[in-house]
Amino acid sequence: MGALVTKIIENEYAIGYASFGVVNQNAGKVSTIKVDGVEATKENIINGSYIIQRPLIAIINGELTAPQQAFMDYVMSAEGMEVIESMGFVPVK
């Protein structure tokens, strides 16, 4: 994703698809587009009115190991959600 955004920044005529967090991390260098008149904002993503979105999905085959469970517990904790948000992404449970 980072390489794609770098290429978009380097070419003023480029159009690309990047995650909301990566766009936020490059604020002022890339622009979002409205879809059906709706802006790409945290609020519009959460309420579902900005229709170009996807969740991050973690898939595992079998039971989580202890380190994997610890990681997931952290990611889903209040502290983990703060880290996600500080990186420009939209934390949801």
My answer on whether 38 and 61 are in the same domain is no
Count of structural domains, the chain? 2
My answer on whether 11 and 47 are in the same domain is yes
Single pTM value for the model: 0.74
Per residue in 30-69, pLDDT (tens digit) is: 988 899 999 999 999 999 999 998 888 888 889 999 999 9
My answer on whether 33 and 2 are in the same domain is yes
My answer on whether 28 and 4 are in the same domain is yes
My answer on whether 41 and 86 are in the same domain is no
- Which positions ≥6 away from 25 have C-beta within 8 Å? 87, 88
My answer on whether 49 and 75 are in the same domain is no
Which range of residues forms the domain containing residue 87?
A: 55-93
My answer on whether 40 and 84 are in the same domain is no
My answer on whether 17 and 3 are in the same domain is yes
Pairwise CA distance, residues 53 & 72, whole Å: 22
Average pLDDT over residues 74-83: 94
